[in-house]
């Protein structure tokens, strides 16, 4: 009986060990497969097709308002009213500011009186010469010139016109639709003759002024597309077209070029510094993303995908832009080019493709 109990005990242990050993074996196989999958590099790939390549020339430029006008008062009088502030949008003919009119009205009245006296004196001089004012068209030019000089008519007429001009320009108006800038004067302070009171700028479709090297001049022409990126605004681009190329090379070998923004932009201001990318399309090119190209022993290499493995390809590149390279040798249309996860890849390494 004792021997039977011992045998039964070992038999139970044997069954338990078999049951336990079978389950870990399945788990082990699953873990091995998981480990192999984890060891495979995860990559992203695209199919290589012929497409248009944007040839780029890079430059720095500045924004310039398409229209810009400094507004002046013609006399040194007290500013009685300012109707706008910096940054206000105005329309053509809108009031900007006005001066005190008291002295200007008096000056015009005085000039008018002096002119009237001169006309009476002119009449007396002509009568003394045997002519009538009614016959002024018959008066010889030389006689009329002498008569106007003696009567002081010419000088007083000039003074009257100047007084009328000053009174008319005691109020300044917006010459076109735009934005007010550089307005620093205050009401009840005297205006400064010869100094701009403010500036009106039309920023609706600003222009971009930049320079290119003279050896880049044959690569650009009017109508070429440009992309504008302000230094101060991240991830913002606006499209424009070249509208003017100055046919002159300066002493530094640079050529001045002007581009026009095709759409209104509220993020570009006069004088702002920008990056300029001139783009010219080259059709039917094999183009890869810049990230797809790596260096191995100082040679250009692109990995392609074939049967779940990465394939090492020596390539030659042509032109480049900010996003890609033209492939001139080493790849063919239809290849699956790995452009992410390729930094540490080896030839025929197993990879997992991410969507």
Same domain for 195 and 237, yes or no, is no
Same domain for 164 and 273, yes or no, is no
**pLDDT tens digits, one per residue of 203-247:** 888 899 999 999 888 888 898 889 999 988 888 888 999 999 999
Residue 28 in domain:
no
Same domain for 231 and 295, yes or no, is yes
Q: Are 146 and 139 in contact (CB under 8 A)?
A: no
| Domain total of the chain | 2
From 180, 201, 222, the end of a domain falls on: 201
Same domain for 354 and 247, yes or no, is yes
For residue 260, give the 3-state DSSP assignment.
Answer: strand
Same domain for 233 and 92, yes or no, is no
Same domain for 96 and 180, yes or no, is yes
For residue 263, give the 3-state DSSP assignment.
Answer: coil
Whole-model pTM: value is: 0.61
Q: Which of 111-125, 202-216, 245-259 has the highest mean pLDDT?
A: 245-259
Residue 159, token pair as written in the block: 């003074």
User: What is the pLDDT, as a whole number, of residue 33?
Assistant: 47
Residue 349 in domain:
yes
Same domain for 212 and 349, yes or no, is yes
- CA 94/CA 128 separation, integer angstroms: 52
Residue 104, class by beta-carbon neighbours within 10 Å (0-12 exposed, 13-18 middle, 19+ buried)?
Answer: buried
**pLDDT tens digits, one per residue of 142-156:** 888 888 888 889 899
Same domain for 286 and 303, yes or no, is yes
Same domain for 219 and 352, yes or no, is yes
Q: Are 209 and 98 in contact (CB under 8 A)?
A: no
Q: What is the mean pLDDT of residues 174-200?
A: 90
Q: Give the domain range for residue 92.
A: 73-201
Same domain for 252 and 349, yes or no, is yes
Q: Are 227 and 59 in contact (CB under 8 A)?
A: no
Residue 274 in domain:
yes
Residues comprising the chain, all counted: 355
């Amino acid at each position: 009986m004792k021997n039977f109990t011992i045998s039964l005990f070992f038999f139970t242990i044997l069954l338990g060990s078999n049951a336990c050993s079978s389950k870990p074996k399945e788990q082990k196989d699953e873990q091995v497969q998981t480990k192999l999958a984890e060891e495979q590099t995860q990559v992203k790939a695209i199919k290589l097709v012929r497409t248009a390549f944007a040839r780029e020339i890079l430059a720095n430029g500045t924004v310039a308002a398409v229209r810009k006008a400094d507004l002046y008062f013609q006399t040194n009088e007290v500013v009685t009213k300012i109707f706008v502030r910096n940054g206000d949008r105005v329309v053509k003919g809108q009031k900007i500011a006005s001066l005190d009119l008291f002295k200007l009205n008096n000056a015009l009245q005085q000039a008018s009186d002096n002119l009237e006296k001169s006309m009476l004196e002119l009449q007396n001089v002509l009568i003394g010469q045997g002519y009538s004012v009614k016959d002024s068209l018959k008066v010889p030019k030389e006689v009329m010139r002498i008569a106007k000089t003696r009567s002081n008519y010419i000088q007083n007429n000039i003074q009257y016109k100047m007084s009328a001009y000053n009174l008319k320009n005691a109020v300044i108006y917006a010459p076109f639709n735009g934005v007010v800038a550089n307005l620093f004067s205050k009401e009840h302070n005297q205006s400064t003759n010869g100094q701009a009171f403010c500036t009106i700028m039309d920023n609706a479709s600003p222009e971009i002024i930049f320079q290119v090297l003279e050896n880049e001049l044959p690569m650009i022409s009017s109508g070429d597309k440009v992309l504008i990126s302000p230094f101060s605004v991240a991830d913002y681009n606006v499209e424009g077209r070249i509208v003017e190329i100055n046919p002159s090379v300066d002493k530094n070998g640079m050529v001045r070029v002007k581009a026009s923004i095709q759409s209104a932009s509220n993020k570009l201001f006069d004088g702002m510094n920008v990056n300029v990318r001139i783009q010219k399309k080259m059709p039917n090119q094999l183009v890869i993303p810049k990230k797809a190209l790596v260096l191995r022993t100082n040679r250009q290499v692109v990995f392609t995908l074939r049967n779940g493995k990465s394939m090492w390809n020596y390539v030659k590149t042509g032109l480049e832009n900010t996003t890609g390279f033209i492939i001139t040798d080493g790849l063919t249309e239809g290849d699956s080019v790995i452009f992410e996860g390729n930094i540490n890849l080896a030839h025929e390494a197993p990879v997992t493709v991410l969507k």
